Amino acid sequence: MEGRKGGRGFLLPQLLSRWDYRHAPHARPCFSFNCTQHFPLQLFAEEGETRHNARWKIDGEEKRKGVEYGPAAVREAGLLKRLSALGCRLKDFGDLSFTPVPKDDLYNNLIVNPRSVGLANQELAEVVSRAVSGGYSCVTVGGDHRSNRITFSEVLRELFRSLSEVQLLFSRRSSLAIGTISGHTRHCPDLCVIWVDAHADINTPLTTSSGNLHGQPVAFLLRELQDKVPQLPGFSWIKPCISSPSIVYIGLRDVDPPEHFILKNYDIQYFSMRDIDRLGIQKVMEQTFDLLIGKRQRPIHLSFDIDAFDPTLAPATGTPVVGGLTYREGMYITEEIHNTGLLSALDLVEVNPRLATSDEEAKATASLAVDVIASSFGQTREGGHIVYDQLPTPSSPDESENEERVRI
């Protein structure tokens, strides 16, 4: 439901046919895309990748506080250590701040903070664009999406460097997808998106009941809805950049009536939780890959909202909805995306420790977010580790049985 949630960002493009990604090596690749030719190059970094970190913060109004603590909670849950164990060298770049626009009046007496949200996304798009043009892949991690503001409370910007590079951004809301996807498509215009979420985030400014832009990011991105979205102050820079056949939703179970109308009438593919129950997650991922990358290879942008999981697994989030993904289903999604070798960008959002009823709930949600990111970059439930070349051998010969008896 757009009215109850903050904007969520969860996009997953995929680019490899089943026969290809099923046979991908299980080493930890980092990814570099020649976005001019739209052809992925998979590289393996035996010595590890380097990541540069930066935290981003945007201040503004929010009815439910706490999302600004989400990225910090994810870091404290051991993300950097986990990535290091996968062979990544890390470097922290510090904090970047986004300042809200003064007197950011409502648009149409309803839309909240349009100028602050629009301009912050514009700046984020520039950063992502520069990263992608430099050969990086981008990961944006955020907190709660319920906020009325675009609070990239802490963006962890990590640049995996080797022959290929990945940029990680820690941020806090799903409307950030406007910026991340817009910036991504400037250099990879043929990308596809996988949106893992309990919600569709596809209301328009004219169908929203809450006025929260975090429930509308996809509407600003879809070319088919261009004539249905009014020009908001602060949004003049945005150009619709993806088409409906290039996005697939997974995990939907709380969709507003206008959103359902859009999904059905604009032929947007989605797999609700009922579809996952009916088909199984393996078949869902096979069909997703067939739809998005079965005919041609192209970069994947994954948008993963932590509320896609069942609230028993991810309680510290703004808009929990019962009946969500199991842990195994969520990990299978990210493992399969990693196996394509085509993941170019990842957004993970809506971690809000302030909404947990206990410290254990907050830690469980942040730890789950770390698992999602790590499995997207090579960690598997079989074990994801740095390359192990050979077993050690004893430094001296073993004593024979007779010698041992004499010694005893």
Residues belonging to the active site: 145, 197, 199, 201, 214, 305, 307, 350
| Nearest Cα to Cα of residue 73 among 377, 372, 365, 375 | 365
Token output for 345: 């960008």
